[in-house]
Amino acid sequence: MLLKHPVRVIALTIIISAVQMATHTEATELPKVFSEDFERGSDRWEILDPKTWKVSSRDNNKTFEITARKSEYTPAVRSPRHVALIKDVAVSDFELTFRVRSTKDTGVHRDCCIFFGWQDKTHFYYAHLGARPDPASGQIMIVNDAPRRPLTKNEKLTPWNDEWHRVKLIRSTKSGIIAVYFDDMEKPHMQVKDRTYGKGRVGIGSFDDMNEFDDMVLRGE
């Protein structure tokens, strides 16, 4: 009996590693369908509240920035208020990478959102990178014609500060895997399986916080 437990642990570790490797391989082989450094502005974005977003210029570099915590956009169901979606692009399997910086220290409320599988304003997924996780924060969420609800039970803190961070999100519709990475591009910060939505739009934003975005690359099909 004593020998069985470590065998199961080793087997489980191998399975998890294989799934992560397969997901990573699928995503990196996908063609690039969109990239953005905001040097030419934000014309390729649909912004649900344009008054709270702007293209900023610092140190000869342009970024896309949320300028206020409050927003005039009021969702029909409880979900994020700051939403910017890529125009004319929808993907099923994809890998999204970008850099993000939190521009206001709101302590445990600091967050960033990544939208995907977007069908319309009341049907989509989003990953919420909240500083302190709870059932309403720091989870992979689904909005399905009802207030957002978590698909994960993540307990990992998101280590926000005033510096730039790297984010990656991988989606495989075949396996159902959704994996989100924060700074560490090899080990997921949180992960889940769900197939509710297939092909959809992708975007960035925040629930009600302030961020700056740059250097986005979307690979998908």
- Find the mean pLDDT for residues 194-210: 97
The model's pTM is 0.87
Rounded percentage of the chain residues whose pLDDT exceeds 70: 87
**What is the Cα 138 distance to its own chain's centre?**
11
- 171 in helix, strand or coil? strand
Residue 63 has pLDDT above 70, yes or no: yes
Confidence of residue 28 (pLDDT cuts 50, 70, 90): low
| pLDDT for position 59 | 87
- What does each C-alpha distance from 133 to 7, 68, 83, 111 come to in angstroms? 32, 23, 21, 10
pLDDT tens-place string over residues 128-171: 999 999 999 999 999 999 999 999 999 999 999 999 999 999 99
Residue 25 has pLDDT above 90, yes or no: no
- The two tokens of residue 202 are 């992708």
Measured CA to CA, the distance from residue 72 to residue 83 in angstroms comes to: 11
- The two tokens of residue 162 are 């005033």
- Find the mean pLDDT for residues 174-181: 97
Q: What are φ and ψ of residue 57, in 5° steps?
A: -130, 120
- Which candidate, 77, 182, 68, 63, places its Cα nearest to that of 131? 182
Which distant-in-sequence residues (6+ apart) come within 8 Å of 180 by Cβ?
Answer: 114, 127, 129, 140, 167, 168, 169, 188, 189, 190, 191
Q: How many distinct structural domains can be found in the chain?
A: 1
- The two tokens of residue 186 are 């090899």
Residue 114 has pLDDT above 70, yes or no: yes
**What is the Cα 169 distance to its own chain's centre?**
6
Measured CA to CA, the distance from residue 185 to residue 166 in angstroms comes to: 8
Residue 70 has pLDDT above 80, yes or no: yes
Residue range of the domain that includes 124: 4-220
| pLDDT for position 84 | 98
Residue 201 has pLDDT above 50, yes or no: yes
- Mean pLDDT for the chain? 91
Please spell the DSSP secondary structure of 204-219, one letter per residue: EEESS--EEEEEEEEE
pLDDT tens-place string over residues 82-111: 999 999 999 999 999 999 999 999 999 999
Give the CATH number, domain containing residue 164. Answer: 2.60.120.560
Residue 54 has pLDDT above 50, yes or no: yes
| pLDDT for position 164 | 98
Task: Count CB neighbours of 37 within 10 A.
Answer: 14
Residue 51 has pLDDT above 50, yes or no: yes
Among all chains, which residue has been given the structure tokens 């960033």? 112
Rounded percentage of the chain residues whose pLDDT exceeds 90: 86
Which distant-in-sequence residues (6+ apart) come within 8 Å of 72 by Cβ?
Answer: 49, 51, 52
